[in-house]
Structure 1
Amino acid sequence: MTFLVLGFDYPAPAGPERRKASREEHLKQGERFYEEGKWLCAAGILNEVGDLIGSVIICNFPSEETLSKEWLDNEPYLLNHVWEKVKIHPIRPAPFMKFE
């Protein structure tokens, strides 16, 4: 199943400082999930002046429960209090998209 995951950072100054400290570990995990075909697209969310304020990930997991167990329970941005809030939405990619 394909999901849209939105992670919204804690505000400055704590959020950006924690993001910087956790970024390498987060990207390493993301790269592994990408290579496994679980992460399909990932990007940082920017505010009006170009500062990172969150993340968006489109991913494939068998279920939301599996997504949480395999990824979010071990996500550095959650464990290190970078993301204040996470929203998960099941999505249906357009027919021409080759996500699955």
Structure 2
Amino acid sequence: MQFTIIARDDTAEGTLERRQANRNLHLERIHALKAEGVIIDGGAMLDESGKMIGSIVLCDVPDRAALDALIASEIYYQQGVWKDLDILPFRRVAWRSA
């Protein structure tokens, strides 16, 4: 099953600093999961000034329980960076080149 995680960062003071402090661990794990095919793609959500305010992650996992386990093991989730999460199932489309 494929899911979109829309994770908005906490707005509490110090959240951006926690995001930056854990960014390398987050990216290492994301790259490993992408190599395994679990992560399809993703990136940081930005506000109008370019400040990181959350993440969007496209995942391919066996079921919702696997997605919940993936989220629970995510460093941004564990460190309180991600606060509000929306989970949406989606269907991946193979785009044709022009």
Return the alpha-carbon distance in structure 1 between the equivalents of residues 89 and 17 of structure 2: 31
1:15 corresponds to 2:15 = yes
Query: Partner of 2:62: helix, strand, or coil?
Result: coil
Q: Tell me if 1:87 matches 2:80.
A: no
Shift of 1:52: 0.3
> Which residue of structure 2 aligns with residue 78 of structure 1?
77
What percent of counterpart residues are identical?
Answer: 31
TM-score normalised by structure 2 residue count: 0.90
Aligned length: 96
The runs of 4+ residues in structure 1 deviating greater than 2 Å are none
- Unpaired stretches in structure 2, ≥5 consecutive residues: none
SS in 1 for 2:65: helix
Shift of 1:92: 1.5
Aligned with 1:44: secondary structure? strand
Shift of 1:13: 3.0
Tell me how far apart the structure 1 counterparts of residues 18 and 83 of structure 2 sit (CA, whole Å): 11
- RMSD of aligned Cα (Å): 1.5
The answer to whether the aligner puts 1:29 opposite 2:43 as a matched pair is: no
How big is the shift at 1:10? 1.0
**3-state SS of the aligned residue for 1:11?**
coil
Query: What is the TM-score when the length of structure 1 is the normalising length?
Result: 0.89
SS at match of 2:8: strand
State the Cα distance separating 1:87 from its structure 2 match: 1.3
| More moved, 15-24 vs 85-94 | 85-94
